[in-house]
Amino acid sequence: MNFDTFPILSFITFLPLIGALFVMIIKDKDIERMMRNAVNVGGFISFSVLILSLILLFRFDGSNPDYQFVEQYVWFDALNLSYHMGVDGISIFFIVLSALLTPICIMLCRQSIADRVREYVVALLVLETFMIGTFCALDGILFYVFFEGVLIPMFIMIGIWGGPRRVYASFKFFLYTLLGSVLMLVALLYLYMQNGTTDIPTMVQNGLESGAQYWLFLAFFASFAVKMPMWPVHTWLPDAHVEAPTGGSVILAGVLLKMGGYGFLRFSMPLFPEAVNYFAPMIFWLSVIAIVYTSLVALVQKDMKKMIAYSSVAHMGYVTLGIFTATTQGVEGAIFQMISHGLISAALFLCVGVIYDRLHTREIARYGGIVKNMPKYATVFMLFMLGSVGLPGTSGFVGEILSLMGAFRVDTVIGTLAASGLVLGATYMLWLYRQVVFGPVINKDAAKMKDVNMREKIALVPLAVLVIWLGVQPNFVLDRIGPSVNQLLDNYQAALSPETANMVASGQLNTGITND
């Protein structure tokens, strides 16, 4: 296969959609056989996408900061809109992450989904197309189509296969994210009027006057902040996670939350550098509040899913903190944290799903002492818990320490407050593990649960290996994202006024506190 001429990105993006069409036409009078065939076809398609994404990753030139595997075709000639796809070091790993988690969710769906399995597989495949397309799109309107498209299958997954309050949770998720995105669409239309195109590289090259940057930044911020989600627009996430089926929670935490951070890197920093610098202090304090406040809220949760959901808000606080430091360590740490959190949070929700499928409750008090009857489960759960708290040797440590290094370069007070989140995170995760795994045996049914089966091992072991491997060999990611990050930051500083650029270079941002 000649990757120089073959439209590999389009193929990877739309292959799941084609697979969804095949799954939809599967019909059989035997319901059980029809569901099995749907899972097999969906699993084969999504696994093929994973293989292709890995080929893409290993053919990716990590030393080249520019976009690679670029495809560009005329979309609407009269409006000068193009179908423009490409990847760089910032986006390549998110494509692989999306391709990795989808087949895992399809493989395990038979254990958590009892009805309409075929339609559930279709929703997952359509969702995969939108996720991968979001990270490949290099045109603003195309990005918006994919970015908003993920709402539809996720809304359906929560609304149909969710818990008792699924309708409330799905509508809250939809309305929160849609409201912010409407403002982003208005900003995109303004950018089109100014540039005559929504092609992202072209808009970055043209630049914008300082006055317009502030309003446009806020419009994009409204969308990306909700998607992250940042405090105080985070309240939809715990409800969505609690009501979503296991696969929905895995995709939501593993990939969808990363779209906001990716949007900041792809749009906000290149297009609105003056506004990014101006609003950075606000972002720092919102990030610190998210880290500390949601960690404290997580401490008092009685539902396992809700606790992990609040921990996700705290971890995303490190992402926004790292990005807006505009330092190499901060931005690289933010990207690494998103990748690591995508693996660890997805695995934690899978772990919750494993015991929920057996006991049908997420209440922490209903479990205890399962280390005796589920030692293998206790082992992998411990690994992901330690990765979540940032234990050295796991991927969680690398992203958090780099983000904090960037924060300390900008402001020691901000860095210190953010570092307190590590202690709080360790507190609630260790408490959760102690209660569930080593706590007193209160429920006899919990003591009778069987250990992880083969399907669950196939799903959890690769994630465990990646968490350890990326913690020991972080350069596999850092070497590939480094050139693109350096180019992003060089362009960012070049676009700032000379006075502001000098302040950024010396770490003297307007945070209200000045480092000596």
CB 378 within 8 A of CB 436: no
Other beta carbons within 10 angstroms of residue 514's beta carbon come to 10
User: How does pLDDT run across 204-231, given as a tens digit for each residue?
Assistant: 888 777 778 888 889 899 889 888 888 8
**Two structure tokens written together for 223:** 């969308």
CB 331 within 8 A of CB 325: yes
Question: Where residue 197 falls among pLDDT bands split at 50, 70, 90?
Answer: confident
Give the three-state DSSP class for 451: coil
User: How does pLDDT run across 111-125, given as a tens digit for each residue?
Assistant: 777 778 888 889 999
pLDDT of residue 515: 41
Question: Where residue 498 falls among pLDDT bands split at 50, 70, 90?
Answer: low
pLDDT of residue 514: 38
- Predicted TM-score (pTM) of the model is 0.90
Question: Where residue 162 falls among pLDDT bands split at 50, 70, 90?
Answer: confident
- Does residue 499 carry a pLDDT above 90? no
Question: Where residue 441 falls among pLDDT bands split at 50, 70, 90?
Answer: confident
Question: Where residue 92 falls among pLDDT bands split at 50, 70, 90?
Answer: very high
CB 268 within 8 A of CB 215: no
- Does residue 235 carry a pLDDT above 80? yes
- Assign residue 35 a region: left if phi > 0, alpha if psi is -120 to 50, beta otherwise? alpha
**Rounded average pLDDT over 469-481:** 91
pLDDT of residue 336: 93
pLDDT of residue 159: 87
Measured between alpha carbons, how far is 453 from 258 in angstroms, rounded to an integer?
30
User: How does pLDDT run across 275-327, given as a tens digit for each residue?
Assistant: 888 888 999 999 999 999 998 998 888 888 889 988 888 989 999 999 998 88
- Does residue 191 carry a pLDDT above 80? yes
- Burial label, 109 (beta-carbon count in 10 A; 0-12, 13-18, 19+): buried
- The sign of the CA dihedral 202, 339, 129, 88 is positive
Distances (CA, A) of 205 to 199, 208, 246: 10, 9, 43
Other beta carbons within 10 angstroms of residue 508's beta carbon come to 14
Question: Where residue 505 falls among pLDDT bands split at 50, 70, 90?
Answer: low
- Does residue 248 carry a pLDDT above 60? yes
- Assign residue 385 a region: left if phi > 0, alpha if psi is -120 to 50, beta otherwise? alpha
**Two structure tokens written together for 82:** 């193009």
Measured between alpha carbons, how far is 323 from 512 in angstroms, rounded to an integer?
19
pLDDT of residue 100: 93
Round the average pLDDT of the chain to a whole number and report it.
Answer: 86
pLDDT of residue 1: 52
DSSP 166-186: HHHHHHHHHHHHHHHHHHHHH
| Higher local confidence (pLDDT), 63 or 504 | 63
pLDDT of residue 510: 44
Measured between alpha carbons, how far is 336 from 204 in angstroms, rounded to an integer?
24
Measured between alpha carbons, how far is 157 from 451 in angstroms, rounded to an integer?
28
pLDDT of residue 511: 43
| Higher local confidence (pLDDT), 334 or 28 | 334
**Rounded average pLDDT over 390-419:** 89
The CA-based angle 304-310-311, given to 5 degrees, is 90
**Rounded average pLDDT over 41-64:** 90
pLDDT above 90: percentage of residues in the chain? 26
For the chain, the structural domain boundaries read: 8-505
> Which of the residue ranges 29-43, 47-61, 132-146, 466-480 would you say has the lowest mean pLDDT?
29-43
- Assign residue 80 a region: left if phi > 0, alpha if psi is -120 to 50, beta otherwise? left
Eight-class DSSP state of 244: S
Length of the chain: 516
Measured between alpha carbons, how far is 278 from 268 in angstroms, rounded to an integer?
12
User: SS3 letters for 74-127?
Assistant: EEEHHHCEEEEEEECCCCHHHHHHHHHHHHHHHHHHHHHCCCCHHHHHHHHHHH
Question: Where residue 516 falls among pLDDT bands split at 50, 70, 90?
Answer: very low
pLDDT of residue 513: 41
Q: State the greatest distance between any 2 C-alpha atoms of the chain, in Å, as a whole number.
A: 75
pLDDT of residue 48: 92
